[in-house]
Each structure stands twice: as structure tokens, then as C-alpha cells.
Amino acid sequence: MLPTASTIDGTAFPASNPAAHRLHLAPNLAPNLALCENADALTAIREPAVTMALWRRNLPADLADALEDWPGKDWTNLRLTTTPDSVQTDATATGPLLPDIAALVRLYADVVGCPSVTLRLERVTGNGCKFLHVDYVGVRLLCTYRGPGTQWAPDDAVRRDGLGTGNNAAVLPDARRLRRMSVGDVGLLKGESWPGNRGRGLVHRSPPARPGVARLVLCLDHDTH
């Protein structure tokens, strides 16, 4: 059972409203996409047909302002294992992002049903995973705090026999179908290792690098669920 949004560590998540706990399956965008109106609706990722649950949100203005100067040049990428109850002390290195990240850790653990969470916060300056691919994980949470967001492809637009060839056009013949997350968006991406999802992992990639733009990306994974 998810806590009401207003109790998630006091962050700026929208107030819980039963009438607003709707999700929109979005067949015009992608048959496998659930567009979520709020944090609670991300539980849609549990639906077998859904491999991408996307909550579009704007970062609070004060957080966006804080990220203009953070992290500094000396900051190093962060990787740790934590729990919803210990993240406030485990992840102090996330600086001004700590309240938001702590809330997302709790949200993620509730949705997936996992006791602990592997957290990565990385500054990305290169192309990352530039080829369209699937992840061999259960459900992964991604949130980009700065720079262009993760790109993904609707199920009905991909040719899975092109995966692993290093040829994006073989996976996605119509590049116009490529979708992209925006800064602040919270995406739950279902991978190949989620029970019953073999052969249906969400196809995605890192966005192409832009000169002088360092992305800041949060990634949450689970060991069990």
C-alpha cells in the first residue's frame, strides 16, 4: 500500500487525491505506456501489458535553482545500497537532491515491493548506452535531473530482431517514433527479468551527448521483489 503522496518525506509530491489516482494507458502514444498523473499511479507498472510507467512532473523551482551550482567539479558518481528508512542518512552525498531522492526511494520500494534499493546518481558527459537496447533487470527507475532525458521506443514501433546489432535503425525503422523523457520526469522501465516479461523489455537508450552538457541521472534498481 502506497503512502499518500503528502506523507512521502514531506516533498513536493502532489497531494493524494483518490480522484486523481488515475493512469492513462496511452495507445495513441504506445500500447505499453502508462501515463501517470501522480506518484501513486506509477503502480501501473505492475500491469502485465505495461512496460513503461511515466510520471511527468516539473522539479520544484528551488530545487532547479540549487542544481545550477551543484554538484561541483570535485563530485564523484555515487553508488550505494539503501532502504526507505535509512536513505536520509545513507545518501547525504546527494546534497540538495536528498529530499526528492529519499521520496523516490520510498516510492520505488513500495511499487516494486523490495526491501532494499541500489541507488546510482551519475554525472554523464558521454553518449552512455547510445544503442537502443533492453535491460536485464526487473523494474528500473530513472529520473534525469539535468540535461536531456532517456529516450525510449513504443513496443509497436520496434523490431526486436535488430537488438544487439548496434544498428538503431534496425531496431526502430521509423526514428520519429522515438520518445524522450524530460528533466524531472519519473520513469519506471520494465526489463527482461521482470516475471513474465521476457522478450518484452522496454527498448531505450541514453540520449546523444551534447557538448558542454553534463547530464545528472538517478537510477534505482532492486535485487528482489
- Residues near Fe ion (CB under 5 A): 135
User: For residues 50 and 189, which CB has a smaller minimum distance to Fe ion in the complex?
Assistant: 189
User: For residues 84 and 138, which CB has a smaller minimum distance to Fe ion in the complex?
Assistant: 138
Q: Which of 104, 138, 134 shows the shortest CA–CA distance to 119? A: 104
Q: Do the beta carbons of residue 135 and residue 123 sit within 8 Å?
A: no
Least distance in Å: CB of 165 to Fe ion? Answer: 16
User: For residues 60 and 128, which CB has a smaller minimum distance to Fe ion in the complex?
Assistant: 128
Amino acid letter, residue 63: L
Least distance in Å: CB of 191 to Fe ion? Answer: 8
Sign of CA dihedral 169, 172, 173, 178: negative
Least distance in Å: CB of 182 to Fe ion? Answer: 18
Q: Which of 84, 2, 97 shows the shortest CA–CA distance to 40? A: 2
Least distance in Å: CB of 4 to Fe ion? Answer: 31
User: For residues 9 and 135, which CB has a smaller minimum distance to Fe ion in the complex?
Assistant: 135
Residues 87-94: contacts with CB within 8 Å, 24+ apart? Answer: 87/117, 87/119, 88/9, 91/119, 94/121
User: For residues 84 and 191, which CB has a smaller minimum distance to Fe ion in the complex?
Assistant: 191
User: For residues 111 and 134, which CB has a smaller minimum distance to Fe ion in the complex?
Assistant: 134
Least distance in Å: CB of 132 to Fe ion? Answer: 9
Least distance in Å: CB of 138 to Fe ion? Answer: 13
User: For residues 65 and 79, which CB has a smaller minimum distance to Fe ion in the complex?
Assistant: 79
Q: In Å, what is the CA distance from 48 to each residue of 43, 97, 174, 178, 198? A: 11, 32, 26, 22, 11
Question: Which residue's beta carbon is nearest to the bound Fe ion?
Answer: 135
CA distance 72 to 135: 30
Please state the φ and ψ torsions of residue 172, each to the nearest 5 degrees. Answer: -130, 85
Q: Which of 53, 31, 26, 51 shows the shortest CA–CA distance to 200? A: 51
Least distance in Å: CB of 12 to Fe ion? Answer: 28
Beta carbons within 10 angstroms of residue 8's beta carbon: 24
